[in-house]
Amino acid sequence: MSGYLRSQRQTAWFVSVFALWLLLTAAATAAPKNYELTATSVADGVWVVAGSTANFSKANGGNILNTGFIETSEGVVVIDTGPSRLYGEAFRTLIESRTDKPIIKVLITHHHPDHAFGSQAFAPDTLYMLEESAQLLERDGEAFSENMYRLIGDWMRGTEVIVPSQRVQPGTLQVGKRTLRLIAMRGHTGADLVVLDEISGVLFASDMVFFNRALTTPQTPGLMEWQSEMQQLAELPFSVVVPGHGPVVRDNRAFLQMNDYLIWLDGVMASSAARGLSAAEVIGTAIPDRFESVEGASYELIRSVSHLYSEYESRALTSN
């Protein structure tokens, strides 16, 4: 009988331990995510919220981009909304801790999820995009959302795709005493917005510029078109460059690196196609030492080849 009682006590102990484990696991799963965003002043009334240069992961919650905001006498202009509803909410709270001005315009630079999926946190009538960007978000948003849920998991909880109803046009936007130059480009996605604050000289270059981070190319209309637009950006009267990904700089280093990288990448694929190399052979190309500081170069080379190389092969066949 004592053996039976001992067995019963052991069973009860295992059941209680297992129940406790389930409770702790559930609590950990349900624990709120926190982006812990911080804002850095880069000019009078202009702040940048910097993300990492890593790939999307459950560890970083998709916080791999730079967002920003500009305070004007009329209110706040926000540049991009981040990768999720949770990011957008944390971003808005951060903005409200820096200024008591209302948020009056939220400029979403392009349709990629890390830049556009935090929009739920902002009033719908403040959200603006280029017409072409909105069309792309309408087309690709749900597929992007499914992929983001897979990549960053619970950080995406409650996130819905919001396509802004308001549009911006290239040209000058006057907000209070701030003059913002809105520039429409194509290099990264086919519809990319760049914002230059003419008062401070801060250039929010969006994903037209990556610095110390390998550029992502799946939707570029062409590497050399991108490179040509980079040259146009480099001629602007900027004092600070805020890349879409990578550290903020106060000189032309980001432009020089991007220009070099684009020419190198185009050259690798063009010469490889001319030699008849397979895609598998091209992805084994060694990354030049001068790009040692460019995070993710090998990974993004694989992605670039998978999306773009067939076009280079077609060109090579046509020219023969």
- CA pair distance 274, 211, nearest whole angstrom: 30
C-beta of residue 178 within 8 angstroms of C-beta of residue 146: no
What is the spatial distance between Cα 50 and Cα 212, in angstroms, rounded to a whole number? Answer: 14
The residue length of the chain stands at 320
CA distance 230 to 13: 66
Strand pairing report for 202-210 and 192-197: antiparallel
Q: What pTM was computed for the model?
A: 0.89
Please report the DSSP string for the chain in residue order.
-HHHHHHHHHHHHHHHHHHHHHHHHHHHHHSPP------EEEETTEEEE---SS---TTTTT--S-EEEEE-SS-EEEE---SSHHHHHHHHHHHHHH--S-EEEEE---S-HHHHTTGGGS-GGGEEE-HHHHHHHHHHHHHHHHHHHHHHGGGGTT------SEE--SEEEEETTEEEEEEEE-TTTS-EEEEEETTTTEEEEEEEEESSBPPP-TT-S-HHHHHHHHHHHHTS--SEEEEEES--BSSSHHHHHHHHHHHHHHHHHHHHHHTT--HHHHTTPPPPGGGTTSBTHHHHHHHHHHHHHHHHHHHHHHH-
pLDDT of the chain, 320 residues: tens digit per residue: 455 444 454 444 433 433 444 444 443 444 568 999 999 999 999 999 999 999 999 999 999 999 999 999 999 999 999 999 999 999 999 999 999 999 999 999 999 999 999 999 999 999 999 999 999 999 999 999 999 999 999 999 999 999 999 999 999 999 999 999 999 999 999 999 999 999 999 999 999 999 999 999 999 999 999 999 999 999 999 999 999 999 999 999 999 999 999 999 999 999 999 999 999 999 999 999 999 999 999 999 999 999 999 999 999 998 86
Q: Count of CB atoms within 10 A of residue 13's CB?
A: 10
Beta bridge partners of 55: none
In this prediction, residue 24 carries a pLDDT of 42
Identify the burial level of 43 via C-beta atoms within 10 angstroms of its C-beta, where 0-12 means exposed, 13-18 middle and 19 or more buried.
middle
Single-letter amino acid, residue 157: R
- The hierarchical CATH code for the domain 40-251 is 3.60.15.10
**Alpha carbon distance 237, 152 (integer Å):** 38
The residues spanned by each domain of the chain are 1-31, 40-251
Q: Which residue has the tokens 């295992």?
A: 14
Distances (CA, A) of 183 to 19, 81, 130, 226, 248: 58, 19, 10, 14, 19
Cα 127–chain centre separation: 17
Torsion of CA 202, 204, 295, 263, to 10 degrees: -100
Q: What's residue 8's pLDDT?
A: 52
Tokens of 83: 């990768």
pLDDT of 49 reads 98
Of the candidates 47, 105, 45, the one whose C-alpha atom is nearest the C-alpha of residue 77 is 105
Give yes or no for a contact between 180 and 202, defined as CB atoms under 8 angstroms apart: no
pLDDT of residue 243: 98
Pairing of strands 103-107, 67-71: unpaired
